[in-house]
Structures are given as structure tokens and as C-alpha cells.
Structure 1
Amino acid sequence: MNLLKTFKHKIKNKLINFFFEALKQEVQNIFLTEPMIVGPKERLHISENVKKNNFLVNTNSGEVYVNDYVFFGKNVCLITGTHDFTKFEDERRKTSPKEGRDIVIEKGVWIATNATIIGPCIIGKNAVVAAGSVVTKNVEPFTVVGGVPAKIIKRIQQKEDE
């Protein structure tokens, strides 16, 4: 009888550990693959073929479009929202445009870890935004940009069919 009790206890502990690990993995997947959205959710438009890591999207002042084959490093920020720096105190905090600061990320773009994209801007097809960069204007297709503010580092050789 003692052996049966021990066996039941071991199985119970293994099942608890199995379900705990599965739940932990699922929670991590949600936090590491779903964007945190500040502002209207319907202003975020993400294609199906996007590799999403944890990223923050502010849609308070515009739409955000993320096209096919885009992939993000960790902790990327896409920011449409801004405030009027000519205002002061509570007025500055409460004053922001409601539209006109859209971000468009075209097909095949790689935005590396800790990069920040500040709208309005378009990140061109197959461009690369280096880790830690701050993009404040349009990025040409097939270019690598980096720095604060981001500047062109190099051009990417295009395939014949591009």
C-alpha cells in the first residue's frame, strides 16, 4: 500500500510540474510575441507573415502598417504619438495630434532589438534598422540605417528580380 501511495504522489507531482511548465511557456509566448498597444487597437494593421517579438506600438496619432516578412528584434517601439513642446505642464500632457503621424513598414524589413521608429515615416522594402537606432524620417528601400538619429550606413545589393 505504501508503494502505491508513493507512486501516486510522484505522478501527481509530475503532472503538476508538466502543466505548470506548459502554462509558463504559454504566458511567455504571449508576452514575447504580442504587441503592447497604446491607443486605438484598430489603427494597428499587421500582415499574417510577420515575426513578432515583444514590441510597443503607440497609435494615438496615426495608423501603423506592418507588411509581409517584416521581423522585429526584442523591445522595438513604433511611436505615432507626440506632444506639443510649446505647451507647458498639464496642457502639454493633454495636447497631441489625433492623426497624420502614420508609420508604414514595407515588405521584408528587419527592425533590430531596441530600435525606435517615430512617425510619420516609411521604412522601405527590405531595409534594416540597426539595434538601438532611432528612426525619425523615411528609410529608403534596400538600405541599412543606424544611430541616433538613424542615418544610412550602407546600401543592400538587390537581387535581379527586385
Structure 2
Amino acid sequence: MNRHQLLVKIQGIEILPGSRIYDEIHVLKANNEQLVMEMNEKYHKPEEIRRYLQEITGRSIDDSVTVSQPFYTDFGKHISFGKDIFINQNVTFVDLGGIVIEDHVLIGPMCRIISVNHLVDPKKRRGLSVASVKIEENAWLGANVTILPGVTVGKNSIVAADSTVTKDVPENVIVVGSPAKVIKEI
């Protein structure tokens, strides 16, 4: 099964331990972790980082994308990068549910973009649900921001440092807090 087929198949379903898809996800995750550790084990030039990211994501990475080390992703295959992106150090993508980073996005240090959640039912708690995340063109995530599953951050918007985004952010606004709320239009 290719990455697109897997992403489509898992949207909106409960992924339970012991299921074939749960086991397949964890095999792919283990393979990705090896590449991520190799990428982060020592300094690499920007073009070397992009080569690692191409292998991790299975997609072409534009020369205008800059990703500082260390960079972490648990699954890797469900990330899409646009052009002219800057990602600062110690950023984590939990991308099984899909993460799209559009053109001209800035992501501050220690940000976390999460597209996976555990199930609420205590009897199924080890199971997973996924919802894609999209960071639209020219958005800026300040330092230590957390974006939760299913969220879209709108074009040109700013998420202030230390904010937790639990719902969609409109275009052209600044949001602050936990949960993040609009404080200003720009």
C-alpha cells in the first residue's frame, strides 16, 4: 500500500492495536526512526538535510526549504513541504494523519505539529485516530507552539509563542494562548 492509499484508508477510523493496519504503521514508523536518527546524529549541510527529508517523506524537497537540526518526525511519509519554508531546531511532526506545510511558512524552535490522537474510550486508549493538519501560505508559528490534529492555520496568520492551537485559525490574524484565541487582525 502506498502512502496516499494508507492516508486515505486511516482518515476517520479507529486504528486499534493488533489490527493489520496498526502493525503496518508501526513497521513503517520504525524504518523512519532509523533515518531520522541518522539525520540528527551529526551536523549536515542544508542540501544533505533535504536529501534525508526526501528519503523520509518519499517526496521531492525544494532547494528553498531550510530545516534546522534536530528535526523529528515519527512516521515521515505523510508530510508535504511547499517552497521557501524555514523550520527552526527541535521541531517535531507527528504526521501519520498528514501534515501539509505550504509556501513561505516559518516554524519556530520547539514547535510540535500533531496529526494523531489516542482514543477517548479507556478500553481502546492505545488505539489511534488521525486528522490532517495544514499550515497555509506565509503563516508563522512562534517558538514552542503546539498544533493539534485536524487544525488549519490560515494564510498569513501568526500563532504566538507558547500557544496551543485546538481549532482552525482564520487567515490574517494573530492568535495567542492555550487554547489559542484571536487577538488581532492583520
Scaled by the length of structure 2, the TM-score of the pair is: 0.62
Pair 1:28–1:75, CA change in 2 (3 A): farther
1:44 maps to amino acid:
I
Residue type of the alignment partner of 2:125: R
Q: How does 1:15-26 map to 2 (within 5 A)?
A: 26=43
Instruction: Report the CA distance between 1:45 and its aligned residue.
Output: 0.5
Distance apart, 1:63 and its partner CA: 0.8
Shift of 1:85: 2.1
CA RMSD of aligned residues (A): 2.2
> Partners of 1:86 and 1:147 in 2: how far apart?
28
Residue 164 of structure 2 corresponds to residue 134 of structure 1:
yes
Deviations 1:29-73 (A, max 9, x none): 76834631012x12000113101112100012x110001110011
TM-score, with length taken from structure 1: 0.71
Aligned residues: 126
1:72 to 107, 110, 124: 107
Q: Look up the SS of the partner of 2:125 in the other structure.
A: helix
| Alpha-carbon distance between aligned partners in 2 of 1:74 and 1:26, rounded to the nearest angstrom | 17
Determine which of 133, 141, 149 is the counterpart of 1:119. Answer: 149
Q: Say whether the 8 Å CA contact 1:33–1:52 is kept in structure 2.
A: no
Identity %: 28
Q: How does 1:8-157 map to 2 (within 5 A)?
A: 26=43, 32-33=68-69, 35-39=71-75, 41-54=76-89, 55-60=91-96, 62-88=97-123, 91-93=124-126, 95-97=127-129, 99=130, 101-156=131-186
| Stretches (4+) displaced over 4 A | 27-31
